[in-house]
Structure 1
Protein backbone atom coordinates (compact mmCIF):
# COMPACT_ATOMS: atom_id res chain seq x y z
CA UNK A 1 0.00 0.00 0.00
CA UNK A 2 1.45 3.35 -0.96
CA UNK A 3 1.44 6.66 1.00
CA UNK A 4 1.68 10.30 -0.18
CA UNK A 5 4.80 11.43 1.62
CA UNK A 6 6.95 14.44 0.77
CA UNK A 7 10.21 13.66 -0.97
CA UNK A 8 13.02 13.38 1.56
CA UNK A 9 15.03 16.23 -0.05
CA UNK A 10 12.47 18.97 0.27
CA UNK A 11 11.10 20.83 3.31
CA UNK A 12 7.63 22.08 3.85
CA UNK A 13 6.80 25.70 2.96
CA UNK A 14 6.40 26.49 6.67
CA UNK A 15 10.02 25.57 7.30
CA UNK A 16 11.27 27.84 4.54
CA UNK A 17 9.18 30.68 5.83
CA UNK A 18 10.61 30.23 9.32
CA UNK A 19 14.14 30.22 7.96
CA UNK A 20 13.57 33.35 5.93
CA UNK A 21 12.04 35.01 8.98
CA UNK A 22 15.07 34.08 11.11
CA UNK A 23 17.46 35.43 8.47
CA UNK A 24 15.45 38.64 8.23
CA UNK A 25 15.44 39.05 12.00
CA UNK A 26 19.22 38.53 12.07
CA UNK A 27 19.73 41.22 9.44
CA UNK A 28 17.45 43.60 11.36
CA UNK A 29 19.41 42.91 14.56
CA UNK A 30 22.72 43.67 12.84
CA UNK A 31 21.33 46.93 11.39
CA UNK A 32 19.96 47.97 14.77
CA UNK A 33 23.33 47.24 16.43
CA UNK A 34 25.16 49.36 13.85
CA UNK A 35 22.69 52.22 14.31
CA UNK A 36 23.08 52.07 18.09
CA UNK A 37 26.87 52.23 17.76
CA UNK A 38 26.70 55.29 15.50
CA UNK A 39 23.91 57.20 17.20
CA UNK A 40 24.78 56.34 20.84
CA UNK A 41 21.39 57.00 22.45
CA UNK A 42 21.61 59.29 25.49
CA UNK A 43 24.62 61.23 24.23
CA UNK A 44 24.14 64.78 23.02
CA UNK A 45 25.82 66.08 19.95
CA UNK A 46 28.41 67.85 22.11
CA UNK A 47 29.33 64.76 24.19
CA UNK A 48 31.62 63.13 21.66
CA UNK A 49 35.19 62.96 22.93
CA UNK A 50 34.86 65.95 25.20
CA UNK A 51 32.33 68.62 25.81
CA UNK A 52 32.58 71.68 23.65
CA UNK A 53 34.28 74.68 25.25
CA UNK A 54 31.91 77.20 26.85
CA UNK A 55 31.57 80.58 25.18
CA UNK A 56 34.49 82.91 25.73
CA UNK A 57 32.30 85.18 27.81
CA UNK A 58 31.70 82.31 30.27
CA UNK A 59 35.16 80.71 30.37
CA UNK A 60 37.25 83.85 30.48
CA UNK A 61 38.24 85.08 33.90
CA UNK A 62 36.62 88.37 34.84
CA UNK A 63 38.80 91.33 33.95
CA UNK A 64 40.19 93.31 36.85
CA UNK A 65 39.19 96.91 36.67
CA UNK A 66 42.23 99.18 36.23
CA UNK A 67 41.96 102.23 38.45
CA UNK A 68 42.27 105.50 36.57
CA UNK A 69 44.25 108.43 37.81
CA UNK A 70 42.17 111.04 39.64
CA UNK A 71 41.25 113.94 37.44
CA UNK A 72 42.68 117.26 38.62
CA UNK A 73 40.18 120.05 39.15
CA UNK A 74 40.53 123.77 39.75
CA UNK A 75 41.47 124.56 43.33
CA UNK A 76 43.45 121.37 44.01
CA UNK A 77 46.82 121.71 45.78
CA UNK A 78 49.66 122.17 43.32
CA UNK A 79 51.66 119.07 42.46
CA UNK A 80 55.38 118.88 41.66
CA UNK A 81 54.63 117.88 38.07
CA UNK A 82 52.90 121.21 37.36
CA UNK A 83 55.04 123.76 39.21
CA UNK A 84 58.19 125.48 37.95
CA UNK A 85 60.19 127.67 40.33
CA UNK A 86 62.81 130.07 38.95
CA UNK A 87 65.43 131.87 41.02
CA UNK A 88 65.81 135.51 39.91
CA UNK A 89 68.50 138.20 40.48
CA UNK A 90 68.22 141.76 39.20
CA UNK A 91 71.74 141.59 37.72
CA UNK A 92 74.30 138.99 36.71
CA UNK A 93 77.19 140.87 38.35
CA UNK A 94 77.46 143.50 41.09
CA UNK A 95 80.00 146.18 41.79
CA UNK A 96 81.53 146.39 45.25
CA UNK A 97 78.93 148.96 46.40
CA UNK A 98 75.88 147.11 45.00
CA UNK A 99 73.65 144.64 46.83
CA UNK A 100 71.89 141.84 44.96
CA UNK A 101 68.10 141.88 44.84
CA UNK A 102 66.73 138.36 44.99
CA UNK A 103 63.26 137.22 43.90
CA UNK A 104 61.36 134.24 42.58
CA UNK A 105 58.98 133.42 39.74
CA UNK A 106 56.46 130.58 40.00
CA UNK A 107 54.67 129.12 36.97
CA UNK A 108 51.82 126.63 36.79
CA UNK A 109 52.61 124.42 33.77
CA UNK A 110 49.57 122.17 34.31
CA UNK A 111 46.05 122.38 32.88
CA UNK A 112 44.11 123.35 35.99
CA UNK A 113 44.23 126.17 38.52
CA UNK A 114 46.10 124.96 41.62
CA UNK A 115 46.78 126.41 45.05
CA UNK A 116 50.01 126.77 47.07
CA UNK A 117 51.47 128.82 49.91
CA UNK A 118 53.63 131.56 48.40
CA UNK A 119 54.03 133.60 51.57
CA UNK A 120 57.41 134.53 53.04
CA UNK A 121 56.95 131.76 55.61
CA UNK A 122 57.05 129.22 52.77
CA UNK A 123 59.96 130.84 50.86
CA UNK A 124 63.61 129.86 51.30
CA UNK A 125 66.39 131.74 49.46
CA UNK A 126 69.86 130.19 49.66
CA UNK A 127 73.15 131.64 48.39
CA UNK A 128 76.09 129.29 47.93
CA UNK A 129 79.56 129.34 46.45
CA UNK A 130 81.09 125.99 45.66
CA UNK A 131 80.03 123.60 48.43
CA UNK A 132 79.67 126.34 51.05
CA UNK A 133 76.37 127.90 52.09
CA UNK A 134 76.91 131.63 52.70
CA UNK A 135 73.41 132.93 53.32
CA UNK A 136 69.88 131.62 53.93
CA UNK A 137 66.84 133.89 54.11
CA UNK A 138 65.26 132.00 57.00
CA UNK A 139 68.25 132.41 59.33
CA UNK A 140 67.24 135.88 60.46
CA UNK A 141 63.74 136.16 59.02
CA UNK A 142 61.28 138.39 60.88
CA UNK A 143 57.50 138.20 60.85
CA UNK A 144 57.08 135.49 58.19
CA UNK A 145 53.55 135.14 56.83
CA UNK A 146 51.55 132.55 54.93
CA UNK A 147 49.86 133.54 51.69
CA UNK A 148 47.77 131.03 49.77
CA UNK A 149 47.62 131.86 46.08
CA UNK A 150 45.79 130.33 43.13
CA UNK A 151 48.02 129.78 40.12
CA UNK A 152 46.42 130.00 36.69
CA UNK A 153 48.04 127.73 34.09
CA UNK A 154 50.63 129.58 32.01
CA UNK A 155 50.49 132.79 34.09
CA UNK A 156 53.73 133.29 36.11
CA UNK A 157 53.70 135.15 39.41
CA UNK A 158 56.74 136.86 40.92
CA UNK A 159 57.82 138.27 44.26
CA UNK A 160 55.95 141.46 45.10
CA UNK A 161 59.16 142.89 46.55
CA UNK A 162 62.70 141.47 46.17
CA UNK A 163 64.86 140.47 49.10
CA UNK A 164 67.99 142.61 49.34
CA UNK A 165 71.06 140.65 50.35
CA UNK A 166 73.61 142.73 52.22
CA UNK A 167 76.48 140.49 51.08
CA UNK A 168 77.11 139.09 54.57
CA UNK A 169 77.17 135.57 55.95
CA UNK A 170 73.94 134.60 57.68
CA UNK A 171 73.89 132.93 61.06
CA UNK A 172 70.91 132.74 63.44
CA UNK A 173 73.29 133.47 66.34
CA UNK A 174 74.42 136.83 64.93
CA UNK A 175 71.14 138.27 63.65
CA UNK A 176 71.35 141.22 66.04
CA UNK A 177 75.06 141.92 65.65
CA UNK A 178 77.65 142.57 62.97
CA UNK A 179 78.18 139.88 60.38
CA UNK A 180 81.11 138.95 58.16
CA UNK A 181 81.12 140.25 54.59
CA UNK A 182 81.42 137.54 51.95
CA UNK A 183 84.34 137.56 49.46
CA UNK A 184 84.06 139.78 46.36
CA UNK A 185 86.58 140.54 43.63
CA UNK A 186 84.64 138.61 40.98
CA UNK A 187 83.66 135.67 43.21
CA UNK A 188 80.89 133.48 41.78
CA UNK A 189 77.73 132.75 43.75
CA UNK A 190 74.56 130.76 43.09
CA UNK A 191 70.99 131.46 44.20
CA UNK A 192 68.50 128.63 44.83
CA UNK A 193 64.87 129.17 45.85
CA UNK A 194 62.18 126.91 47.28
CA UNK A 195 58.50 127.85 47.66
CA UNK A 196 56.12 125.67 49.65
CA UNK A 197 58.54 122.78 49.20
CA UNK A 198 58.92 123.23 45.43
CA UNK A 199 62.57 123.87 44.57
CA UNK A 200 63.99 125.78 41.62
CA UNK A 201 65.14 123.39 38.92
CA UNK A 202 68.27 125.48 38.29
CA UNK A 203 70.39 127.85 40.35
CA UNK A 204 70.98 131.43 39.21
CA UNK A 205 74.67 132.36 39.00
CA UNK A 206 75.93 135.88 39.68
CA UNK A 207 79.25 137.60 40.44
CA UNK A 208 80.27 139.88 43.27
CA UNK A 209 83.07 142.44 42.78
Structure 2
Protein backbone atom coordinates (compact mmCIF):
# COMPACT_ATOMS: atom_id res chain seq x y z
CA UNK A 1 0.00 0.00 0.00
CA UNK A 2 2.90 2.37 0.67
CA UNK A 3 4.03 1.97 -2.97
CA UNK A 4 0.48 2.70 -4.12
CA UNK A 5 0.18 5.87 -2.04
CA UNK A 6 3.78 6.89 -2.65
CA UNK A 7 4.84 5.81 -6.14
CA UNK A 8 8.49 4.94 -6.50
CA UNK A 9 10.33 5.62 -9.73
CA UNK A 10 12.49 8.02 -11.65
CA UNK A 11 9.53 10.34 -12.38
CA UNK A 12 7.83 12.73 -10.04
CA UNK A 13 4.86 11.28 -8.05
CA UNK A 14 2.40 13.57 -9.92
CA UNK A 15 3.22 11.87 -13.23
CA UNK A 16 2.30 8.46 -11.83
CA UNK A 17 -0.95 9.79 -10.33
CA UNK A 18 -2.00 11.27 -13.68
CA UNK A 19 -1.34 7.94 -15.41
CA UNK A 20 -3.44 6.06 -12.83
CA UNK A 21 -6.33 8.54 -13.16
CA UNK A 22 -6.25 8.19 -16.96
CA UNK A 23 -6.46 4.36 -16.72
CA UNK A 24 -9.27 4.51 -14.14
CA UNK A 25 -11.22 7.00 -16.30
CA UNK A 26 -10.97 4.76 -19.34
CA UNK A 27 -12.19 1.74 -17.32
CA UNK A 28 -15.15 3.79 -15.99
CA UNK A 29 -16.16 4.85 -19.50
CA UNK A 30 -16.12 1.23 -20.72
CA UNK A 31 -18.29 0.15 -17.75
CA UNK A 32 -20.81 2.94 -18.40
CA UNK A 33 -21.06 2.07 -22.12
CA UNK A 34 -21.68 -1.62 -21.31
CA UNK A 35 -24.41 -0.71 -18.80
CA UNK A 36 -26.13 1.59 -21.27
CA UNK A 37 -26.12 -1.09 -23.97
CA UNK A 38 -27.63 -3.69 -21.62
CA UNK A 39 -30.30 -1.30 -20.34
CA UNK A 40 -31.13 -0.05 -23.85
CA UNK A 41 -31.74 -3.58 -25.10
CA UNK A 42 -34.06 -4.36 -22.25
CA UNK A 43 -36.26 -1.21 -22.50
CA UNK A 44 -36.29 -0.32 -26.21
CA UNK A 45 -39.70 -0.42 -28.03
CA UNK A 46 -39.95 -3.02 -30.80
CA UNK A 47 -39.62 -1.66 -34.31
CA UNK A 48 -42.64 -1.85 -36.60
CA UNK A 49 -42.18 -3.12 -40.15
CA UNK A 50 -43.59 -0.63 -42.63
CA UNK A 51 -46.19 -2.13 -44.91
CA UNK A 52 -47.01 -0.35 -48.16
CA UNK A 53 -50.67 -0.08 -49.02
CA UNK A 54 -51.51 -1.83 -52.30
CA UNK A 55 -52.12 0.44 -55.23
CA UNK A 56 -55.42 0.28 -57.01
CA UNK A 57 -55.20 -1.65 -60.23
CA UNK A 58 -56.86 -0.16 -63.15
CA UNK A 59 -59.84 -2.01 -64.44
CA UNK A 60 -58.36 -1.92 -68.04
CA UNK A 61 -55.79 -0.11 -70.35
CA UNK A 62 -56.69 0.78 -73.97
CA UNK A 63 -54.96 2.50 -76.88
CA UNK A 64 -58.20 3.57 -78.59
CA UNK A 65 -59.40 7.14 -77.99
CA UNK A 66 -61.77 7.64 -75.08
CA UNK A 67 -65.23 9.12 -75.59
CA UNK A 68 -65.03 12.88 -75.93
CA UNK A 69 -65.59 13.78 -72.28
CA UNK A 70 -63.48 13.56 -69.16
CA UNK A 71 -64.17 10.35 -67.21
CA UNK A 72 -63.16 9.82 -63.58
CA UNK A 73 -62.20 6.47 -62.11
CA UNK A 74 -64.81 4.62 -60.10
CA UNK A 75 -64.90 5.96 -56.55
CA UNK A 76 -63.89 3.66 -53.74
CA UNK A 77 -65.91 3.48 -50.55
CA UNK A 78 -64.33 3.34 -47.11
CA UNK A 79 -67.64 2.65 -45.38
CA UNK A 80 -68.42 -0.83 -44.14
CA UNK A 81 -72.17 -0.24 -44.27
CA UNK A 82 -73.95 -2.29 -46.96
CA UNK A 83 -74.94 -0.59 -50.19
CA UNK A 84 -78.36 -0.63 -51.82
CA UNK A 85 -79.81 -4.07 -52.34
CA UNK A 86 -79.98 -5.55 -55.81
CA UNK A 87 -83.78 -5.40 -55.78
CA UNK A 88 -83.74 -1.68 -55.01
CA UNK A 89 -81.27 -1.00 -57.85
CA UNK A 90 -83.36 -2.99 -60.31
CA UNK A 91 -86.52 -1.15 -59.26
CA UNK A 92 -85.30 2.33 -60.23
CA UNK A 93 -83.32 1.10 -63.28
CA UNK A 94 -79.94 2.26 -62.02
CA UNK A 95 -76.93 0.55 -60.48
CA UNK A 96 -75.52 1.42 -57.09
CA UNK A 97 -72.97 4.22 -57.08
CA UNK A 98 -69.81 2.94 -58.82
CA UNK A 99 -71.35 -0.35 -60.03
CA UNK A 100 -71.53 -1.59 -63.61
CA UNK A 101 -74.05 0.36 -65.67
CA UNK A 102 -77.37 -1.36 -66.24
CA UNK A 103 -79.56 -1.20 -69.34
CA UNK A 104 -82.08 1.04 -67.63
CA UNK A 105 -79.37 3.51 -66.66
CA UNK A 106 -77.78 4.13 -70.08
CA UNK A 107 -79.35 5.87 -73.08
CA UNK A 108 -77.58 5.52 -76.43
CA UNK A 109 -78.23 7.86 -79.35
CA UNK A 110 -76.81 7.82 -82.90
CA UNK A 111 -75.01 11.04 -83.85
CA UNK A 112 -74.67 12.48 -87.39
CA UNK A 113 -72.96 15.69 -88.48
CA UNK A 114 -75.72 16.42 -91.03
CA UNK A 115 -79.15 15.15 -92.03
CA UNK A 116 -78.47 15.20 -95.77
CA UNK A 117 -75.29 14.76 -97.80
CA UNK A 118 -74.23 15.79 -101.28
CA UNK A 119 -72.94 13.29 -103.85
CA UNK A 120 -69.30 13.68 -102.72
CA UNK A 121 -69.88 14.00 -98.96
CA UNK A 122 -69.20 11.13 -96.54
CA UNK A 123 -71.41 11.03 -93.43
CA UNK A 124 -69.59 11.45 -90.11
CA UNK A 125 -71.15 9.00 -87.66
CA UNK A 126 -70.77 8.57 -83.89
CA UNK A 127 -72.80 7.85 -80.77
CA UNK A 128 -73.61 9.51 -77.46
CA UNK A 129 -73.78 7.63 -74.16
CA UNK A 130 -75.83 9.23 -71.39
CA UNK A 131 -76.12 8.09 -67.78
CA UNK A 132 -79.79 8.79 -67.06
CA UNK A 133 -79.64 7.30 -63.55
CA UNK A 134 -79.03 9.01 -60.23
CA UNK A 135 -75.75 7.18 -59.53
CA UNK A 136 -72.37 7.01 -61.24
CA UNK A 137 -71.56 3.73 -62.95
CA UNK A 138 -68.85 2.25 -65.16
CA UNK A 139 -68.92 0.26 -68.41
CA UNK A 140 -66.66 -0.90 -71.21
CA UNK A 141 -66.74 1.75 -73.96
CA UNK A 142 -63.83 0.36 -75.98
CA UNK A 143 -64.03 -0.09 -79.75
CA UNK A 144 -64.50 -3.83 -79.24
CA UNK A 145 -67.90 -3.09 -77.67
CA UNK A 146 -69.12 -0.31 -79.98
CA UNK A 147 -71.23 -1.16 -83.04
CA UNK A 148 -72.53 1.35 -85.59
CA UNK A 149 -74.97 -0.01 -88.16
CA UNK A 150 -76.42 1.62 -91.31
CA UNK A 151 -79.54 0.21 -92.91
CA UNK A 152 -82.31 1.16 -95.30
CA UNK A 153 -85.71 -0.35 -94.78
CA UNK A 154 -85.22 -3.88 -93.51
CA UNK A 155 -81.82 -4.34 -95.17
CA UNK A 156 -78.50 -3.74 -93.42
CA UNK A 157 -75.92 -2.06 -95.63
CA UNK A 158 -72.93 -1.43 -93.39
CA UNK A 159 -71.59 -2.34 -89.92
CA UNK A 160 -68.48 -1.17 -88.09
CA UNK A 161 -67.96 -4.77 -86.94
CA UNK A 162 -67.71 -6.35 -90.40
CA UNK A 163 -64.03 -5.52 -90.96
CA UNK A 164 -62.87 -4.37 -87.54
CA UNK A 165 -59.41 -5.48 -86.42
CA UNK A 166 -57.66 -4.89 -83.11
CA UNK A 167 -60.75 -3.90 -81.15
CA UNK A 168 -59.87 -2.58 -77.68
CA UNK A 169 -61.51 -2.48 -74.26
CA UNK A 170 -61.75 0.66 -72.14
CA UNK A 171 -63.56 0.79 -68.81
CA UNK A 172 -64.99 4.27 -68.21
CA UNK A 173 -66.92 5.75 -65.30
CA UNK A 174 -69.95 7.85 -66.26
CA UNK A 175 -71.28 10.23 -63.65
CA UNK A 176 -75.01 10.64 -63.05
CA UNK A 177 -76.45 12.89 -65.78
CA UNK A 178 -73.21 12.87 -67.79
CA UNK A 179 -73.19 12.40 -71.58
CA UNK A 180 -70.15 11.10 -73.46
CA UNK A 181 -69.71 11.24 -77.24
CA UNK A 182 -67.46 8.89 -79.20
CA UNK A 183 -65.07 10.23 -81.86
CA UNK A 184 -66.78 10.45 -85.26
CA UNK A 185 -65.76 8.17 -88.12
CA UNK A 186 -66.46 8.62 -91.84
CA UNK A 187 -68.67 6.15 -93.68
CA UNK A 188 -67.41 5.81 -97.25
CA UNK A 189 -70.93 5.12 -98.62
CA UNK A 190 -70.12 1.49 -99.46
CA UNK A 191 -71.82 -1.78 -98.60
CA UNK A 192 -69.80 -3.85 -96.10
CA UNK A 193 -69.54 -7.55 -95.33
CA UNK A 194 -66.99 -9.82 -93.69
CA UNK A 195 -65.98 -11.15 -97.13
CA UNK A 196 -65.10 -7.79 -98.70
CA UNK A 197 -62.58 -6.46 -96.18
CA UNK A 198 -59.61 -6.88 -98.51
CA UNK A 199 -61.32 -5.93 -101.76
CA UNK A 200 -63.23 -3.04 -103.24
CA UNK A 201 -66.80 -2.73 -102.03
CA UNK A 202 -69.81 -1.58 -104.03
CA UNK A 203 -71.18 1.89 -103.40
CA UNK A 204 -74.68 2.28 -102.05
CA UNK A 205 -77.43 4.12 -103.87
CA UNK A 206 -77.62 7.90 -103.58
CA UNK A 207 -79.93 10.28 -105.39
CA UNK A 208 -82.08 11.02 -102.36
CA UNK A 209 -82.04 7.54 -100.83
CA UNK A 210 -82.90 7.37 -97.12
CA UNK A 211 -80.73 5.53 -94.59
CA UNK A 212 -80.78 4.99 -90.84
CA UNK A 213 -77.95 4.85 -88.29
CA UNK A 214 -78.35 2.72 -85.17
CA UNK A 215 -75.75 2.19 -82.44
CA UNK A 216 -75.05 -0.21 -79.59
CA UNK A 217 -72.49 -0.83 -76.84
CA UNK A 218 -72.27 -4.38 -75.52
CA UNK A 219 -75.83 -5.55 -74.88
CA UNK A 220 -77.31 -2.04 -74.91
CA UNK A 221 -78.84 -0.74 -78.17
CA UNK A 222 -80.16 2.71 -79.01
CA UNK A 223 -83.93 2.92 -78.74
CA UNK A 224 -84.20 4.96 -81.95
CA UNK A 225 -82.24 5.31 -85.16
CA UNK A 226 -81.18 8.53 -86.88
CA UNK A 227 -82.37 9.11 -90.44
CA UNK A 228 -80.27 10.79 -93.14
CA UNK A 229 -80.37 11.30 -96.90
CA UNK A 230 -77.70 10.55 -99.51
CA UNK A 231 -77.99 12.70 -102.61
TM-score by length of 2: 0.59
SS where residue 120 of structure 1 aligns? coil
Pick one of 206, 212, 216 that aligns with 1:190.
212
Aligned to 1:128: 151
Alignment gaps of 5+ in structure 2: 1-84, 90-94
Count of paired positions:
142
Q: Distance in 2 between matches of 1:131 and 1:68?
A: 38
SS where residue 127 of structure 2 aligns? strand
Pick one of 115, 135, 141 that aligns with 2:164.
141
Q: Residues 116 and 196 of structure 1 are in contact (CA less than 8 Å); yes or no, is this contact kept in structure 2?
A: no
Could you tell me how far 1:68 is from its partner in structure 2? 7.8
Q: Residues 115 and 148 of structure 1 are in contact (CA less than 8 Å); yes or no, is this contact kept in structure 2?
A: yes
Aligned to 1:74: 97
Task: Determine if the alignment matches structure 1 residue 102 to structure 2 residue 120.
Answer: no
Pick one of 128, 140, 165 that aligns with 2:187.
165
Could you tell me how far 1:73 is from its partner in structure 2? 2.6
Could you tell me how far 1:69 is from its partner in structure 2? 2.1
Q: Distance in 2 between matches of 1:133 and 1:86?
A: 18
Could you tell me how far 1:101 is from its partner in structure 2? 0.7
Task: Determine if the alignment matches structure 1 residue 117 to structure 2 residue 140.
Answer: yes
Task: Determine if the alignment matches structure 1 residue 179 to structure 2 residue 201.
Answer: yes
Q: Distance in 2 between matches of 1:82 and 1:76?
A: 11
Q: Residues 109 and 154 of structure 1 are in contact (CA less than 8 Å); yes or no, is this contact kept in structure 2?
A: yes
Larger radius of gyration: 1
Alignment gaps of 5+ in structure 1: 1-66
SS where residue 81 of structure 1 aligns? helix
Could you tell me how far 1:171 is from its partner in structure 2? 1.0
Q: Residues 106 and 156 of structure 1 are in contact (CA less than 8 Å); yes or no, is this contact kept in structure 2?
A: yes
Matches within 5 A, 1:79-98: 79-98=102-121
